[in-house]
Amino acid sequence: MRLVELAKAEAKDNLDLVLKASALSEAKSQKLITSAGKQLHKKIALITCKTNKRIEKSQMEFERLQQDCVQATEAAIEAERTVVIIKTDHAIAMKSLKTQHKIALRDTQARHFLRFEKQKQSMTIEMNRLRELLHGQNEMIDGCLDEMKDERRAARQASDSAKQLKVIASDRMDKIKWWKGKCDELTYLQDAYMTQATKMEEMQQRIDEYERLSEEMTEDYEETILSMCPRHIEKARVRNLTNKYGHQEWKPFVDKLIIEFLCNRVPPTCIQLVMVAMSKGKSVTCMSIMLSIND
């Protein structure tokens, strides 16, 4: 019994020692856990702070990039509007120039045509009057010749009387004077006719000069249109966000021109040659097609 009690006492002592050791180990582990938790919270707080700073920095960078993108987009829209306005103003100016040139040319031609028609009508009336006058003078001359024949016959018949001869002579002298006046009048009318003919030639020369000036104005107008139209096609540089130097691309009117060629059944292999021919050519029709595509 005593051994049992000693064993129980020893077991109790061992159990107490074990409990104390376990309590000490538990306290140590609790301290370790507490210190590890504090270090973990500190690391988590540090990582969270750094992460928040990086997130705020990335958000600020994103907002700055977004503002730059918005500004670039607004600038591009404003530039496109300016280009559209310039194209519209150019098309309106070209149309107004065409209209003014056509109206001026039509008015000039109509004015010269009316003046020429009036001169022609007046000259025709004058020529008819002169023809009638010459016809009347010819009839009068024929009548005078008949009278002279009759007078000659009467003179032959009345050659025995001197008085009749004097009367006949005086009548002949009067008629000769009258016919001399008529001849002077015919000479004056002939001079007037020559003056009118000279004026007609001068008017014809003026009309030829006006036609030449009209042709020169038309040629100058076509040369002006050709000089104002674009005669070369090249790529334009476009800025982007990925590459600071940007890239080159065709302008929108080139795409429209290619679509127009394809719609008009131009083979795809011939589009480049046709564009080169149009840029080097001097045809007003080709340039008007380019202007309509730009509009």
In this prediction, residue 295 carries a pLDDT of 44
Q: Is the pLDDT of residue 7 over 70?
A: yes
Q: Is the pLDDT of residue 200 over 80?
A: yes
SS3 237: strand
Task: Report d(CA 145, CA 215) in Å as an integer.
Answer: 58
- Residue in 246, 239, 250 with CA at minimum distance from that of residue 71: 239
Structure confidence by residue, pLDDT tens digits, 60-114: 888 888 888 788 888 878 888 888 888 888 888 888 878 887 888 788 878 877 8
Give the CA-trace dihedral at 94, 99, 102, 106, to 10 degrees. Answer: -170
Exposed/middle/buried for residue 257 (C-beta within 10 Å: 0-12, 13-18, 19+):
buried
Structure confidence by residue, pLDDT tens digits, 215-268: 887 777 667 656 655 555 677 777 776 777 777 888 888 888 888 889 989 899
**How high does pLDDT run on average in the chain?**
77
Examine residue 133 and state whether it is found in any structural domain, yes or no: no
Structure confidence by residue, pLDDT tens digits, 137-181: 777 777 767 777 777 776 677 666 667 767 777 777 887 878 877
Examine residue 267 and state whether it is found in any structural domain, yes or no: yes
Domain count, the chain: 1
For residue 16, give Cα distances in angstroms to 4, 6, 20, 30, 211: 18, 15, 6, 20, 137
In this prediction, residue 241 carries a pLDDT of 67
Examine residue 151 and state whether it is found in any structural domain, yes or no: no
Examine residue 283 and state whether it is found in any structural domain, yes or no: yes
Examine residue 290 and state whether it is found in any structural domain, yes or no: yes
Examine residue 11 and state whether it is found in any structural domain, yes or no: no
Q: Is the pLDDT of residue 280 over 70?
A: no
The 3-class SS string of 49-83 reads HHHHHHHHHHHHHHHHHHHHHHHHHHHHHHHHHHH
Q: Does residue 92 or residue 286 have the better pLDDT?
A: 92
In this prediction, residue 293 carries a pLDDT of 45
Examine residue 79 and state whether it is found in any structural domain, yes or no: no
Determine the structural domain holding residue 258 and report its residue range. 229-295
How many angstroms separate the first and last alpha carbons of the chain?
122
Q: Is the pLDDT of residue 197 over 70?
A: yes
Task: Assess contact for 272 and 65: CB atoms under 8 A.
Answer: no
Q: Is the pLDDT of residue 118 over 70?
A: yes
Q: Give the mean pLDDT of 280-292.
A: 48
In this prediction, residue 263 carries a pLDDT of 92
Structure confidence by residue, pLDDT tens digits, 14-31: 777 777 777 777 787 788
Examine residue 235 and state whether it is found in any structural domain, yes or no: yes
Q: Give the mean pLDDT of 110-132.
A: 79
